[in-house]
Amino acid sequence: MNLINANKSIAFLIVMVLSVVVLMTIPGCEGPKGPAGADGVDGVNGIDGTDGDISGEACLRCHNDDRLLEKRFELNQHDHATMSNSLSRGGRASCGRCHSHENFVSFWVEDTTYDLTSVTGLTCKSCHTLHDTPIVNNFSFATRVDGDIPFLTGGTETFGTSSPSNLCIACHQPRRDYTYYDSTPTDATDEVSITSSHAGPHYGVAGSLIFGKGADDRNGTIALDQGSMAHAFAGCATCHMGDDRLHTFKPDVDNCVACHSDADDFDMNGIPTKIQNAVHAIELEFVTIGALEDDGEGGFDQTASSSAPTVLSGVEYSAFWNYLVLHSDHGSAYHNPPYVKAIINNVEENLGMTLTTWD
Ligand code: HEC
Ligand code: HEC
Ligand code: HEC
Ligand code: HEC
Ligand code: HEC
Ligand code: HEC
């Protein structure tokens, strides 16, 4: 390549670069500007806000109150806070509505899905409506569930409008009745084959026992029609929380004296002890029949399994179901004594045992 050609090439290159730069800075060809559009419609005035007092009273009403700490301390002593025996079931669709905060709220309040799998135990907001409203002054400790409570076994129960105990039976209610295992319930005397080692109404049965419901009344002459008693009018919260609304949910004799003026323990007239002894005798009878076996720890296990069902006569099945009702309510000696006495006598009659006398 000679020098002149090299200079020509450099000059050509400079021209090229400059033209690119110039082209980049010259605006593109556009048409003329159009006419201006019509003015938009005026916006609607905003609604006046309510006076907030976030800084003061509204929040401090609770957040400066010893009660909040006190209730948290009490709740932490109760299984509701941890669901220690049952939280592992809280994320299952058929269990979670009673065994976790998240699924309880989503089932009863939001009425949506209740198979959320990441769950915790109960907290203040499981049972109370606080923080649900944007209106600061509306915050309260009202309970979330009230009125007629639908039961999984059909129908509804209630302690009356505005009773805090309606909340309790949203969870403390049976999951099954006796027809669950007896596929021909209209025939009370035919055989029943049980294949589950966990047969029974489930542990929440206090919520039906207190209203005098849940037993199998098809066999035996002793009628199970005692219905609700004074304890149903009292409601769960009266005995389990008292006037101070204790959040340990532990019954106290002080909560009984309004009606049992001379009570100094729960064993009124020795009746709860008699009930517990009678239930124990019934358990031994079911060991003989083969429906229960000693678990070696002071309790009993059901013997049935899918490969080795427990087959009971109709009369034995009624007795077994009724025993399971008493067993599934850890407070059955207290919740509805007249009904429970009758259930025990009915079981004893159906099993050919000597009947317990109560006075
Ligand atoms: C009716 C009583 C009450 C009022 C009024 C109230 N709170 Fe609460 N708040 C509670 C309770 C109870 C808790 C839960 C405490 C616990 O779990 O131990 C809580 C918890 C909280 C939490 C923790 C997160 C949560 O939601 O659990 C925040 C943040 C909070 N409140 C802010 C406020 C603010 C801000 C206000 C005022 C605008 C307010 N609260 C008014 C009772 C109240
Ligand atoms: C969200 C469902 C739910 C609500 C609402 C509820 N409970 Fe419970 N409760 C449970 C479950 C589940 C357990 C078992 C906890 C565990 O051990 O895992 C339980 C346990 C208990 C226990 C026994 C604790 C122990 O030491 O073994 C008592 C007593 C009790 N609840 C009373 C009440 C009362 C009274 C109310 C109403 C004020 C109430 N519960 C409301 C679900 C609930
Ligand atoms: C209708 C509400 C409800 C449903 C649904 C429910 N449970 Fe429960 N469950 C309870 C209540 C209430 C208790 C506690 C009662 C008590 O302590 O007396 C309990 C207690 C338990 C316990 C503890 C028993 C003990 O001896 O302490 C286990 C385990 C359990 N449930 C498993 C399950 C499983 C598994 C499911 C689902 C297949 C389920 N539950 C569904 C209400 C319910
Ligand atoms: C298992 C349900 C449950 C849980 C969980 C629960 N409460 Fe309650 N609480 C109740 C019931 C039922 C009442 C009685 C309501 C009534 O009398 O109307 C009550 C009453 C109260 C009261 C008294 C209200 C008043 O008007 O005097 C306060 C305060 C309170 N709860 C605070 C709390 C706090 C704080 C937490 C959390 C640390 C909490 N509660 C958790 C069920 C619950
Ligand atoms: C007449 C008072 C009274 C009423 C009303 C009452 N209970 Fe009880 N409950 C008791 C007593 C007393 C015990 C036994 C406590 C003990 O042994 O320490 C008990 C035991 C229990 C237990 C077993 C506790 C444990 O430690 O295993 C549960 C769960 C329970 N009650 C729930 C309820 C529910 C839910 C309601 C309402 C449907 C209710 N109770 C109504 C007095 C009552
Ligand atoms: C609202 C009033 C009321 C309250 C509160 C109450 N009871 Fe009762 N209770 C009664 C009545 C009324 C009877 C008698 C019912 C009957 O025999 O028909 C009774 C009967 C009993 C019985 C059977 C006694 C017998 O001789 O058959 C026991 C046990 C019992 N109560 C325990 C308790 C305990 C424990 C508490 C407190 C934790 C309590 N009650 C709170 C009204 C109450």
Which residue's alpha carbon is at the smallest distance from atom 2 of ligand 6?
A: 259
**Hey, what are 216's tokens?**
């199998």
Dist. CA 25–CA 328, nearest whole Å: 87
Nearest ligand 1 atom, CA 136? 38
> In this structure, are residues 287 and 294 in contact, taking their beta carbons and an 8 Å threshold?
yes
Q: Highest mean pLDDT range out of 7-11, 85-89, 110-114, 270-274?
A: 270-274
Dist. CA 149–CA 168, nearest whole Å: 10
- The whole-number pLDDT of residue 46 equals 59
Q: Which of 89, 297, 44, 68 is nearest to 203 (CA)?
A: 89
Q: Which of 65, 225, 245, 68 is nearest to 167 (CA)?
A: 245
Query: Ligand 6 pocket: which residues have CB below 6 Å?
Result: 229-231, 233-234, 238-239, 251, 255-256, 258-260, 266, 268-269, 271-272, 334, 337-338
Q: Which of 258, 259, 152 is nearest to 213 (CA)?
A: 152
- The whole-number pLDDT of residue 25 equals 42
Q: Give distance in angstroms: CA of 36 to centre of ligand 1.
A: 53
**Hey, what are 118's tokens?**
């990441």
- The whole-number pLDDT of residue 111 equals 78
Mind listing the pLDDT tens digit for each residue in 112-130? 777 788 899 999 999 999 8
> In this structure, are residues 271 and 358 in contact, taking their beta carbons and an 8 Å threshold?
yes
What's at 46, amino acid-wise?
Answer: G
Q: Which of 259, 274, 345, 359 to mutate to test the pocket of ligand 6 (most atoms within 8 A of CB)?
A: 259
Q: What is the mean pLDDT of the chain?
A: 87
**Hey, what are 69's tokens?**
């700490």
Dist. CA 95–CA 171, nearest whole Å: 10
- The whole-number pLDDT of residue 39 equals 76
Query: Ligand 1 pocket: which residues have CB below 6 Å?
Result: 54, 58-59, 61-63, 68, 72, 123-124, 130-131, 136, 139-141
Q: Which of 221, 349, 217, 359 is nearest to 285 (CA)?
A: 349
**Hey, what are 260's tokens?**
């049992």
Mind listing the pLDDT tens digit for each residue in 238-265? 999 999 999 999 999 999 999 999 999 9
> In this structure, are residues 231 and 202 in contact, taking their beta carbons and an 8 Å threshold?
no
Dist. CA 67–CA 59, nearest whole Å: 14
Which contacts (CB < 8 Å, 24+ apart) does range 114-119 have?
115/91, 116/91, 117/91, 118/91, 119/87, 119/90, 119/91
Least confident of 139-148, 283-292, 320-329: 139-148
Mind listing the pLDDT tens digit for each residue in 2-26? 444 444 444 444 444 434 443 344 4
- The whole-number pLDDT of residue 48 equals 58
Q: Which residues contact 257 (CB under 8 A, 6 or more apart)?
A: 263
